[in-house]
Structure 1
Amino acid sequence: MQHPPTHNGAPKSVGVIGAGFAGMAAGAILANEGHDVTIFEKNATIGGRARTFSEMGFTFDMGPSWYWMPDVYERFFARFGRSVADLYQLQQLDPGFAVVFADNEVVDIPADFDELCRLFEQIETGAGDKLRRFIADGAFKYHVGMDEMVYKPGHSITEFISLRLFGQALRLQLFSSFSKHARRFFKDPRLLALIEFPVLFLGAMPKDTPALYSLMNYSGLKQGTFYPMGGFGKVADTFRDIARQAGVRFRTSEAIEKLETSNGRVRHIHTAGRSVPTDVVIGSADYQHIERALLPSRDRHYKDSYWAERTFAPSCLLFYLGVSKRIARMRHHNLFFDQDFGLHAEEIYQRKMWPTAPLFYVCCPSVTDPSVAPEGHENLFILMPIATDLPDPEPIREHYYQLLMDRLEKFAGETIRDHVVLKRSYCVSDFKNDYNACQGNAYGLANTLRQTAIFKPKLKSPKVSNLFFAGQLTVPGPGVPPAIISGTIAAHEVLKYLNS
């Protein structure tokens, strides 16, 4: 759906680095405003970390697998006169996910919130009513955050100084610890584990994360956990199709080698095969890579020491497994919290070492979606959060594969390894090679107070006037919905720049 352009004068040429969700969102909005947009992608396929691969009748999502914050997708599609229902089939999961504790105790998280409150009450007396209050608090943060905070570019603190936000600052709990906040409501370690897991997997240690992020619990436990039939690759394809319909050109397998600048502006984008003049560049690939590898030193804002001092969200060791039988006990999302949460978090964020007794996550989308595996087979995606920048040779990967499979088979009560017909691993060095990811991170910067909103890397280059950034290292942070929001903010900032 092509809108009439609202910009002043002739269309401008915009080069976007990276065809992940942030880059495609930004490109689609700018092309829909009449600008000439090209997205350059170093890999052969679009989607960024949400790429897929298919082999032997299996289709694997390589990255994102949790569909939360459904309103963010709807808000984006509405810009183009579309809705999720027009584009792909969204299935609410019930249970939303399962948590496996010691001695193979399984807690299924029901989709119905009243049922969830009853479950909390069974585990800890009084916890049902406390969950209602906890989630109501998260809902407040979510709606204030989505309406008034996350779509701001993070240039300056003045963006957040409104009478309304100032009056609500205490309720938003930007300066309170998530860990302390959760413990005001719950005592049972099982309840704390399922409340804190989004923080461990996406951010930082709960004690270092602002209590603001209980908004994630509202999304996961009250809005619900969903699955796009066909997998996240279908969502990435939808963004590509919307961008193409708006006029975006995609150049895959075309890595950018240099941004040529003069007088504080990018003049040309250089790839292996061409030099492309440009009016604006949006860097939705790794921020540090763009500055360090593509820009001349005079135009870099952040020094190497800056990145070395950041707290990154985890990297991860992933296994994609095709299994030649069904596994009766598997749910769609399975979180293994049968080991010490605190120790694993400490080894990720403080000691920066391979974990002693890791927590891990197993996604089995073939429970919900028969299209992702041959009939009678299972599609398994196993993720173990780890520290960034660890060496990951094959013997280490194999050691953890055997360790995780021991625990998975114990839970399943049946052999799995003997039925694995397809196996592929992915780890720190792959994130570096495929995405130029700083320190091999998987999720960007941790959601600590010192790395929230205005404290994140700047969305607009302070040194190059027509260079903007988007993606998980900028506002608002890691995850697919934040990436979509980031691309939206970047596009709006480019429009302001072009119309000024």
Structure 2
Amino acid sequence: MTRSRAVVIGGGVSGLATASLLARDGHEVTLVERRPVLGGRAGSWERDGFVFDTGPSWYLMPEVFEHFYRMVGSTTAEHLRLVDLDPGYRVYGEPSEGAADNAIDVRAGRDAVAALFEGREPGAGRRARRYLRSATRAYEAARTSYLYNPFSSWRTFLAPSVLKNAPAILPLLSRSLWTMIRRRFADRRLRQILGYPAVFLGTSPFDAPALYHLMSHMDLVDGVRYPLGGFRRFADSLVEIARENGVTIETACEAVAIRRDASHVRGVDVEQSGGRRVLEADIVVSAIDEHHTETVLLAESDRSYPKARWRNQVTGPGAVLVMLGVADELPQLRHHTLLFSNDWRDNFDAIFGDTPRVPDTPSFYVCMPSATDDAVAPSGHENLFLLVPVPPDVTIGRGGVGGYGDPAVTKIADRAIEQLSAWAGIPDLTERIVVRRTVGPGDFADDFHSYRGSALGPAHTLRQSAFLRGRTRSRRVPGLYYTGATSVPGVGVPMCLIGAELVLKHVRGDSSVGPLEEP
């Protein structure tokens, strides 16, 4: 194999994973990251003994992590200490009379799920078992034939594995996830437990195809885990692996243009320490926001997509993040807690509808890793991370530390704290906060060049999923590749690891549809 020079743009999960796979495959790799720290959205923030993950917090699809680690000659156990969460999460519904007596603990396993569903709706236990069997079939079909499929030619659509698994996939594309759930279950909370994973995909259960009921295999069958030390420990492991494999990493180094000649990509212009230089390359991988790459780093004639693509894109939600250090313990919460309002249609219409607005009574997510990990908060204190979905709109503003931040972000954070206090029965929550930081859509745009300030990238609607979501390989510039949450196969840490492998397949000219053989 010819030893090619590769430049990877972006030091998040996809960038680090791609750099490691290419370096291990014999290429000379340089990774550039515009920020002074690595990890991308899988970052962290520390203050007064509290250590917050600022991005991913759900450890799902463990076999994808294990496969990646094995691809670089290691194992998950060599880098991470995983803890099974039991229950996987707690749900609070909107209290009818202000009383916080409606907590539902959700445990993994078909028996536990069937018992929970039967206890709330007679006959639902049996239907839940069938639903989960279907979710597992769809998940295995997607993982073995579609997620790792480069779709590099028409032949990949006709591969035996793809055709074999088509009956488990195609019928689920003609209706929405919510339609599938509604026809099987009547209880509002049970419907929401099955529908909320659509938010992980940057969309709503009303718009996501029923195919994505496969997400229920991940949390309800396979279970939820947590890497001690948080996801920053996972990000650190990627940095370690990249360096061990000889990747040159340059931080505070921003890519400002991608160069090409008449036939091929030729390098990347970067700015660092006030100067500008060229990193010559035979391979360039953009592991940053695809919109920024297409509209800023490439000349117009080199862009794979017309302007209409971006105007018509259904963008995933923005987010207001609230990091709180809280005095004393909070037994009302679990490691993961979800707050579900009654009117989901209004919630999702507020974010994805024709006239976007911040929901009046939002459904949102709370992570309390101090329930599992003693290292993330001082003794006797709790570490809270709130994620409040909002429209993808940079004008909502930016956050800040303490009481600082733009007015809209501050208001959203204040209301979320009040809502958590009331719904979970923590009347003195506000008075117990000793550390506070907020992040808004404007921060996502500033830090990650995120299109419209989205926290997740394009929504996983039918027309923005799988090979319809985009391409790993540029249509116009040979040698230029895309990966990351805004590209293929989609949102989430496991998808970013798979996206890195898709780049490796394209570089190798490998059109196989499943995971690569592990060395």
Q: TM-score range by the shorter chain?
A: over 0.9
- C-alpha displacement at 1:156, in angstroms? 4.8
| Structure 2 Cα separation of the partners of residues 40 and 170 of structure 1 | 43
| Aligned residue in 2 for 1:435 | 448
Question: Where in structure 2 are the equivalents of 1:413-424 lying within 5 Å?
Answer: 413-424=426-437
Question: Where in structure 2 are the equivalents of 1:99-248 lying within 5 Å?
Answer: 99-103=91-95, 104=100, 105-156=102-153, 158-166=155-163, 168-172=165-169, 173-248=172-247
| Structure 1 Cα separation of the partners of residues 162 and 4 of structure 2 | 36
| Aligned residue in 2 for 1:400 | 412
| Structure 1 Cα separation of the partners of residues 467 and 153 of structure 2 | 6
Contact 1:203–1:209 (CA<8 Å) still a contact in 2?
A: no
Deviations 1:190-244 (A, max 9, x none): 1000100010342322232111111110011110001000100001111111121
Matched, 1:474 2:487: yes
Matched, 1:301 2:313: no
Q: Secondary structure at the match of 1:421?
A: strand
| Structure 1 Cα separation of the partners of residues 64 and 118 of structure 2 | 31
Matched, 1:17 2:17: no
Q: Secondary structure at the match of 1:463?
A: coil
Aligned letter for 1:58? F
Question: Where in structure 2 are the equivalents of 1:342-381 lying within 5 Å?
Answer: 342-350=345-353, 351-381=355-385
Question: Where in structure 2 are the equivalents of 1:229-378 lying within 5 Å?
Answer: 229-272=228-271, 273=275, 274-350=277-353, 351-378=355-382
Matched, 1:28 2:28: no
- CA, structure 1 residues 312+156, in 2 after alignment: closer, same or farther (shift >3 Å)? farther
- CA, structure 1 residues 390+295, in 2 after alignment: closer, same or farther (shift >3 Å)? closer
Matched, 1:73 2:69: no
- C-alpha displacement at 1:390, in angstroms? 4.6
Instruction: Choose 397-406 or 379-388, whichever is displaced more.
Output: 397-406
| Structure 2 Cα separation of the partners of residues 198 and 24 of structure 1 | 26
| Structure 1 Cα separation of the partners of residues 165 and 85 of structure 2 | 34
| Structure 2 Cα separation of the partners of residues 140 and 241 of structure 1 | 35
| Structure 2 Cα separation of the partners of residues 90 and 201 of structure 1 | 21
Contact 2:7–2:267 (CA<8 Å) still a contact in 1?
A: no
Instruction: Choose 405-414 or 154-163, whichever is displaced more.
Output: 154-163
Aligned letter for 2:12? G
Deviations 1:444-492 (A, max 9, x none): 2111111112211221111110100001122111111011101111122
Aligned letter for 2:313? R
Aligned letter for 1:136? R
Aligned letter for 2:506? E
Instruction: Choose 203-212 or 380-389, whichever is displaced more.
Output: 203-212
Contact 1:330–1:412 (CA<8 Å) still a contact in 2?
A: no
Deviations 1:129-170 (A, max 9, x none): 111111110111111111111001234554223455345434
Contact 2:110–2:220 (CA<8 Å) still a contact in 1?
A: yes
Matched, 1:464 2:477: yes
- C-alpha displacement at 1:325, in angstroms? 2.0
- C-alpha displacement at 1:184, in angstroms? 2.8
Deviations 1:273-329 (A, max 9, x none): 332111110000011101111112221122332111011121111111111222121
Contact 2:33–2:252 (CA<8 Å) still a contact in 1?
A: yes
Deviations 1:12-31 (A, max 9, x none): 11000111111111111110
| Structure 1 Cα separation of the partners of residues 437 and 161 of structure 2 | 50
Deviations 1:417-442 (A, max 9, x none): 22222111111111110000111111
Aligned letter for 2:328? K
Counterpart pick for 2:393 among 370, 389, 405: 389
Q: Secondary structure at the match of 1:486?
A: helix
| Structure 2 Cα separation of the partners of residues 296 and 59 of structure 1 | 41
Q: Secondary structure at the match of 1:331?
A: coil
In the alignment, structure 2 segments of 5+ residues that lack a partner are 398-405, 511-519
Aligned letter for 2:468? F
Please, what TM-score do these two structures have when normalized by structure 2? 0.91
Aligned-pair identity in percent equals 35
Contact 2:92–2:338 (CA<8 Å) still a contact in 1?
A: yes
- CA, structure 1 residues 462+61, in 2 after alignment: closer, same or farther (shift >3 Å)? same
| Aligned residue in 1 for 2:401 | none
Deviations 1:339-381 (A, max 9, x none): 4211111111113222222111110100110101111111110
In the alignment, structure 1 segments of 5+ residues that lack a partner are 1-7
Deviations 1:37-63 (A, max 9, x none): 111111111111101121211111111
Please, what TM-score do these two structures have when normalized by structure 1? 0.95
Q: How many residues are aligned here?
A: 489
- C-alpha displacement at 1:112, in angstroms? 4.2
Contact 2:50–2:325 (CA<8 Å) still a contact in 1?
A: yes
